[in-house]
Structure 1
Amino acid sequence: MAPSLQLDGDSGACNESRRVLRIAGVSGGVFDRFRSIQDLAKDPSIHVLFGDWISEISMTFRGNERASRAADAEQVAFEMSFISALKPAIRDIAENRQRMAVNAGSCDPEAMAKVVQQLVKDYGTDLKVSWVTGDDVTAQFTEMLNSGEKFPSLPSDTSIDQWGVKPVCAQAYLGGVGIAEALRHGADIVICGRVADAAPVVGAAMWYHDWTREDFTELAHALMAGHLLECSSYVTGGYYTGFKKELLQSNKFSNLGFPIGEIESNGEFVITKEKDAGGIINVRTVTAQLLYEIQGPLYYNSDVTARIDRMRLAEDGPDRVRVTGVIGLPPPPTTKIGITARGGWQAEIHFFLAGLDIPEKVELVKKQTLESMGEYRKDFTTLTFNVTNVGSVAEHPKNQTSATVDLRIFAQSKNPDIMSTGPHKGVAPDTPSFAKWCIENCLQGYPGGTPAMDLRQSVGKPFFEYWVALFPQDRINHEMHTFDGRSVPILPPTVTAMYPRQQESYDTSSPLALDSWGPTVRAPLGHIVHGRSGDKSSDCNLGLFVRHNDEWDWLRSLLSVSKLRELLEDEDTGKKIDRFEIPSLNAVHFLLKDHLDRGANSSSSYDILGKNVCEYVRCKLVEIPKVFYERGTI
């Protein structure tokens, strides 16, 4: 059970009447700063530490490792970086009686739990380590697939039989109920596989406040707290479009603090951060993170559905933002699954082009390379020639760097031999290859022909395809395994609701004429508009918002779907774009369906995660009312 006496989140004093769960986000991914657990474990006012170590990219790699284990029985399929971050914090976690829940178990939570169990003993503590399973639904998925289930893609709505590759594993996004049960059964550390990014916060809040599975308003608030906290310093100034003035000029850019949520018994919460660290928390940084990786006005989770278009944010003191107004609805009877397949091999090679005639130089490289490939061109499933700097250089450049562009030749193939991955099936070592075809034309190539001398990227490496679909929760074998050898089944929710696959989408009602505010200045949209974008599989979300309430009518009137397509220009794929508004946050949100060339695992784009879609749109010229522009730029 949760302790009966807790520390007050504001003052640090004991308070029996106001129970506040203080939970800290200590990792947004496998490459986050390792200091987080060690530093936050020293703060006895923090009750729970949680972290996210799994991305769609890591899911595919670990899923393939799990599927390939027969060939290498010693291979692990969990995130070892968590172990490195945990070690120096173990004694403080034990001394301060903190709890921890992480998804670092990836595709092998039991194996990781056993490693952590031994580790805490080695450090002389009695911390109890439990784990949650059930996210591996490969067997159930395969059975359903063989029975004719189509598993339509969430981004494209196409049937999986059109995918063209063979699935090797399927992983379901679990909720927080298993984590709550582990904590209720006395666990100090809970190791999970693929739970939803926000699930540890939902589970910790369920445990701490003793919520039921039908406390939808409370659960929905906790879900959004988890959404805001799970990317660590993204909410404390990381990726923030106001970084110039609010971080650089104010000297708060160094060592951004990790975020802390203070969740009350009714679900409402405050987002704050470490006191003795850099970064900032304000309505704008929280809005930016709220708009990241959402799909529409409904935020789905296997525990609860949150309606977010009526959320309210308010400053609650220095580096504190209070969040209210989340509407809780029953969860759907399904949850999301990620399906991994081996896509083949990919490689790339770079050439540097300088000075005049850039388009013609690119054309020469392309034609000579394709001629070298001959009939082997048909063996490439992807072959692109991409130029940075829009294929041009500055007029009368001041130095050679500003006169140089990067030509990237990117290839994918299911044939390992032509991707230089080594001889296969008795193929001779001198078999023609992607790298050879690209390089052999140097001496007959463009003026100044210069390849990048590090050719390691030209050697093919495996890549994976990733398919996102829905899966029935009642087909998942969700279990919690205790530190003392018991297994507790986690039943699917009994109260659910069906939701349409297509979320609400609309252009603004009653748009105002864009000359309503008087004279305008033609300037980049991002001079007065903040934003954030990101990926979910091959979908890309884009959220844009303004600083001042009187700018809202201009923003919503300007940013229609057709206007976004105009701003995207050549980047517009012609596929569906959804749009909705959050007036309380002065925000417009777009979901660009199937925009990212199959997603991060297999994309041929530079922007594999969709994070620069926002920055591209913000740099486009629009007519900004002079009265707004003269207030000063972001």
Structure 2
Amino acid sequence: MATINGANGHTNGASKRAVRIAGASGGFSDRQRAISSLAKLDIDALIGDWLSECTMTLHGAEKVNNETLRAEGKLMEERVGLFDPTFMDNLSPALADIAGKGIKVAVNAGACDTVLLATLVTEEVKKQGLDLKVAYLEGDEVTDAVNKLIKKGERFPSLMTGLDLKDWGYTPIYAQCYLGGAGVAEALNNGADIVICGRVADAATTVGVAMWWHGWDRNKHFDEIAGSLICGHLIECAAYVCGGYFSGFKRLMERCENLGFPIASIEADGSCVIEKEPNTGGEVSVGTVASQLLYEIQGPLYYGSDVTANIEGVLMKEEGKDRVRVTGVRGLPPPSTTKVGLTAVGGYQAEFHVYLCGIDLEAKAEWVERQIRYSAGDAAKELSCFKFSLNGYCPDNPRNQDVATVDFRIFVQTKNKKLVSKATLDVPGFNRWCMDNGLQGCPGWTLGNDQRQSEGKIYYEYYVTLLPQSEVIHRVILPWLEKTINIPVCAVTKEYPRDQPSYETRDPVDLKNYGPTTRGPMGWIVGGRSGDKASDANVGFYVRHDDEWDWLRSILTIDKIKYLLDEEYKGGRIERFEIPGIRAVHFLLRDHLDRGFNSTSTYDTLGKNVCEYLRSKWIDMPNKFLHRGRF
């Protein structure tokens, strides 16, 4: 059984030079030029993440479906890919540069068929006449392990709600966990050039490359590994750290068509410098880097299978144009568990859209809703979700008809497929309930010209819990050596509670001390970022100047966030902590997103709009801050 104990495939002993790692992708919707562009630069390694909780669920469900079809002799194509379908088109044009310059590649793209993707990469390498060794990782698929523990009585409480799996109401069909970076490091130690991962944690590819390069001992170099974990978090979403989703986006408008991808230099002590691809749009500033740090975190502790990083002491300093140094991360032993996502068939969902226009919109929406509910009658009892939402508003004295028109959305979910079986005018069911009322509708009732959404589509439920790392069989496969290496759990682990430390500011200041104020959107002077982790939403806010920090931490209390959420607050627990080094306050909104991407009934499927909604809410802001200019 192999251990990662400081052996380094790059040098004999720890490297003095920082390793330069480019972040090539943050998801399947990222730009396809990434790898080929970055491989032309002065870098040592490329990492990328093409997966998400959304794609894990969909790939997992498709794998189960394929296995059923194969057992029935109905699967026509044996090389059906259950990995990211865009990856090969991204990688192939760059292989010559990767081989010629000795660039290492570690990517999160294999999803539910890492073996096939690694095979296709190997075939493409041979086709181009190159000498690159392709390794892959196994162990993230843990359906059998989860089922075994369920039979033994394991409760598997939800990380979001705290409820046990038995109370979920759905039967898991697939389970996939997050692996750490140790397998990537071991593959590189054994001569791999390209490492294909099925599902490692988002930042784990960066951790693995840095562990390999610097020869860190995973059983004791916790500060260093933690620094690389946070660096990996900063670059795994590609252009997010270079201006994507940035509150100050308006100043980046001139070259917004082509934001740069990030390049991180990780030092031997775990600190890093973030830069961006030259001759591209966007920027790397404390603002853009702080924004990405605040994205999809859950508290002061950032967990990985290799280490736990404490980010409360993070410091960021601009060392020049598009160059930010990140220090202050502290490491703790990794948790004894790793996160695992369970997929289940939820049922079928459909939606119908009516366009309403002009004045009295709330009354018009009530008119339509009452008529549709009446048409549904007792069949509504078979719906697990029957939701009406009025989206948009008509401004005073509208300048044209389009801006005066809003979307009235009717959304349903059910296990009875017949209720949403066809989007036709003559079949009883959801479409007909909505359509029946067209001629007794309110004034301005307008039918959309595409009825396909009212035909049901299958949807999946996703459940996030924890699995003991000891139940995971993490392996590195080295085909050219016909060798398999087992990756053990870190020798030192720690039990962590489900809820992270949460606190209000310890010494709030009197807001009256800031003098005259003006009422307006908080986003005039406060930046931020939000995201999702299953049904939890996180949102962090920061300010640009030191003297604004005491005001921000004093005004943004948990009660203030509840007040600003207004009708969006559903009564869930809200947790709070501070990061003084970047003048930031962070909140975790428990179970805020209606089950997460694959089953949510809301527009904000990924929690990315929580921050912008809150930044639009009006508060009293000191005039002396407003005089400096708005975001």
Task: Indicate the TM-score class for this superposition, using the shorter chain for normalisation.
Answer: over 0.9
Match of 1:426 in 2: none
Structure 1 residues 504 and 176: CA distance shift in structure 2, 3 A? same
What percentage of aligned pairs have identical amino acids? 51
- C-alpha distance in structure 2 between counterparts of 1:171 and 1:299, whole Å: 20
After the TM superposition, which segments of 4 or more aligned residues of structure 1 sit over 6 Å from their partners? none
Deviation, structure 1 residue 440: 2.1
1:205-354 equivalences in 2 (<5 Å): 205-213=210-218, 214-245=220-251, 247-248=252-253, 251-354=254-357
Match of 2:581 in 1: 584
1:122-159 per-position Cα deviation (integer Å, ceiling 9, x unaligned) = 11112111100100000010011122111101011011
- C-alpha distance in structure 1 between counterparts of 2:143 and 2:63, whole Å: 11
Q: Is the Cα–Cα contact under 8 Å of residues 420 and 435 in structure 1 kept in the other structure?
A: no
1:324-363 per-position Cα deviation (integer Å, ceiling 9, x unaligned) = 1100110010010011001111111111101122112111
Letter in 2 for 1:332: P
Q: Secondary structure at the match of 1:206?
A: helix
Structure 1 residues 88 and 17: CA distance shift in structure 2, 3 A? closer
Match of 1:155 in 2: 160
- C-alpha distance in structure 2 between counterparts of 1:266 and 1:357, whole Å: 62
Deviation, structure 1 residue 303: 0.3
Q: Is the Cα–Cα contact under 8 Å of residues 298 and 305 in structure 1 kept in the other structure?
A: yes
CA RMSD across the alignment: 1.6
Deviation, structure 1 residue 80: 1.7
- C-alpha distance in structure 2 between counterparts of 1:62 and 1:225, whole Å: 28
Deviation, structure 1 residue 373: 1.3
1:62-141 equivalences in 2 (<5 Å): 62-70=59-67, 71-72=69-70, 73=75, 74=78, 75-141=80-146
Q: Is the Cα–Cα contact under 8 Å of residues 217 and 326 in structure 1 kept in the other structure?
A: yes
Match of 2:470 among 474, 479, 484: 474
Matched, 1:446 2:451: no
Q: Secondary structure at the match of 2:250?
A: helix
Match of 2:38 in 1: 40
- C-alpha distance in structure 2 between counterparts of 1:385 and 1:422, whole Å: 19
- C-alpha distance in structure 2 between counterparts of 1:89 and 1:5, whole Å: 29
Pick which of 225-234 and 350-359 moved more. 350-359
Q: Is the Cα–Cα contact under 8 Å of residues 9 and 191 in structure 2 kept in the other structure?
A: no
- C-alpha distance in structure 1 between counterparts of 2:396 and 2:143, whole Å: 56
1:471-497 per-position Cα deviation (integer Å, ceiling 9, x unaligned) = 000000110000322111111111011
1:431-483 per-position Cα deviation (integer Å, ceiling 9, x unaligned) = 51211221222122122221111112111111110000010000001100003
- C-alpha distance in structure 1 between counterparts of 2:526 and 2:50, whole Å: 31
Q: Secondary structure at the match of 1:113?
A: helix
Matched, 1:633 2:630: yes
- C-alpha distance in structure 1 between counterparts of 2:105 and 2:378, whole Å: 56
Q: Is the Cα–Cα contact under 8 Å of residues 261 and 272 in structure 1 kept in the other structure?
A: yes
Deviation, structure 1 residue 601: 1.1
- C-alpha distance in structure 2 between counterparts of 1:562 and 1:448, whole Å: 40
Match of 1:10 in 2: none
Q: Secondary structure at the match of 1:321?
A: strand
1:577-615 per-position Cα deviation (integer Å, ceiling 9, x unaligned) = 000001111100000001000011111011111111101
Pick which of 309-318 and 393-402 moved more. 393-402
Q: Is the Cα–Cα contact under 8 Å of residues 423 and 452 in structure 2 kept in the other structure?
A: no
Matched, 1:598 2:595: yes
Number of positions where the alignment pairs a residue of Structure 1 with one of Structure 2: 614
- C-alpha distance in structure 2 between counterparts of 1:123 and 1:346, whole Å: 45
Match of 1:458 among 451, 454, 460: 454
1:140-190 per-position Cα deviation (integer Å, ceiling 9, x unaligned) = 100111221111010110111111111001111000001111111111111
Gapped regions of structure 1 (runs ≥ 5): 7-15, 424-428
- C-alpha distance in structure 2 between counterparts of 1:88 and 1:320, whole Å: 29
- C-alpha distance in structure 1 between counterparts of 2:324 and 2:471, whole Å: 39
- C-alpha distance in structure 2 between counterparts of 1:591 and 1:602, whole Å: 20
Match of 2:19 in 1: 21
Pick which of 578-587 and 496-505 moved more. 496-505
Match of 1:143 among 133, 144, 148: 148
Q: Is the Cα–Cα contact under 8 Å of residues 384 and 414 in structure 2 kept in the other structure?
A: yes
Q: Secondary structure at the match of 2:86?
A: helix
Q: Is the Cα–Cα contact under 8 Å of residues 15 and 215 in structure 2 kept in the other structure?
A: no
- C-alpha distance in structure 2 between counterparts of 1:439 and 1:619, whole Å: 36
Deviation, structure 1 residue 17: 7.8
Deviation, structure 1 residue 417: 1.3
Q: Secondary structure at the match of 1:470?
A: strand
- C-alpha distance in structure 2 between counterparts of 1:285 and 1:111, whole Å: 37
- C-alpha distance in structure 2 between counterparts of 1:156 and 1:619, whole Å: 28
Pick which of 377-386 and 229-238 moved more. 377-386
TM-score, normalization by structure 2:
0.95
TM-score, normalization by structure 1:
0.95
Match of 2:3 in 1: none
1:87-145 per-position Cα deviation (integer Å, ceiling 9, x unaligned) = 11111111111111111000111111111111111111121111001000000100111
- C-alpha distance in structure 2 between counterparts of 1:537 and 1:455, whole Å: 30
Letter in 1 for 2:342: I
